[in-house]
Amino acid sequence: MSPRKSVAEARRTRERIIERSVAIGSVEGLEGLTIGRLASDLGMSKAGVLGHFGTKQALQLAALYGASGLFSRLVWEPVAELPPGLTRLRAFCEAWIVYLHEERTAFPGGCLFVTASMEFDARGGPVHDTVARFLLRARRILVNDLRIAVDAGELPPGTEPEQVAFEMHGLYLGLNQELQLFADATAPARTRRALDRLLGTASRTGN
């Protein structure tokens, strides 16, 4: 086997482990990740899994980074080049709703960050800090476009971007719970109405 092929196969194996870790973590939490569970699910030896990550915490962190990459690819990247301000903000919000509602291949148990935030919110350490950092990054995207929208006159001058972003973020945490805990099919439409009200714009869809 050539060194190049060996490196490519090792990279793909690592990606498979992370993908499975994200799926398990979304359902069972990051504490549900074990070397033995992953080895069994992926048809690998424990040593094979351990060789890629070494510790359970390293595996948990890798799952979070993997989930962050998926969020960026599915939610942020498709709208990143839109005009900044209200146009991009609303597109980002809609993509986030669709992500929570429809992405079940990577996240069968819903958003991994919501699961992990409840699991680690009262703990310290690298996993807690990584979860918080990724969630705050998503909130900063909201704040940035809210500020641009205010400066452009798309939102009233008295709009407080930090406060509005705080409330919008709460809507998404609530949406994930409504979908996962209550299986409420109306939750995406309710979230859209709440966002319309929060942003001071009338819904164009009537949903």
Question: Which CATH number characterizes residue 160's domain?
Answer: 1.10.357.10
Look at residue 116 and tell me if it is in a domain: yes
Look at residue 41 and tell me if it is in a domain: no
Look at residue 182 and tell me if it is in a domain: yes
- What count of other Cβ atoms lies within 10 Å of the Cβ of residue 13? 16
The H or E element that residue 193 is part of is helix 187-199
Closest Cα to residue 187, out of 116, 112, 96, 104?
A: 96
Domains identified in the chain, total number = 1
Look at residue 125 and tell me if it is in a domain: yes
pTM reported for the whole predicted model = 0.87
Q: pLDDT 10s digit of each residue in the chain, 207 long?
A: 555 567 788 888 999 999 999 999 999 999 988 888 899 999 998 888 888 888 899 999 999 999 999 999 999 999 999 999 999 999 999 999 999 999 888 899 999 999 999 999 999 999 999 999 999 999 999 999 999 999 999 999 889 999 999 999 999 999 999 999 999 999 999 999 999 999 985 333 334
User: Range of 158's domain?
Assistant: 63-199
Please tell me the distance from the alpha carbon of residue 85 to that of residue 95, in angstroms, as a whole number. 15
Look at residue 150 and tell me if it is in a domain: yes
- What do you get for the CA distance between the two ends of the chain, in Å? 57
Please tell me the distance from the alpha carbon of residue 78 to that of residue 81, in angstroms, as a whole number. 8
pLDDT for res 48: 86
Look at residue 31 and tell me if it is in a domain: no
Look at residue 26 and tell me if it is in a domain: no
Please tell me the distance from the alpha carbon of residue 1 to that of residue 25, in angstroms, as a whole number. 34
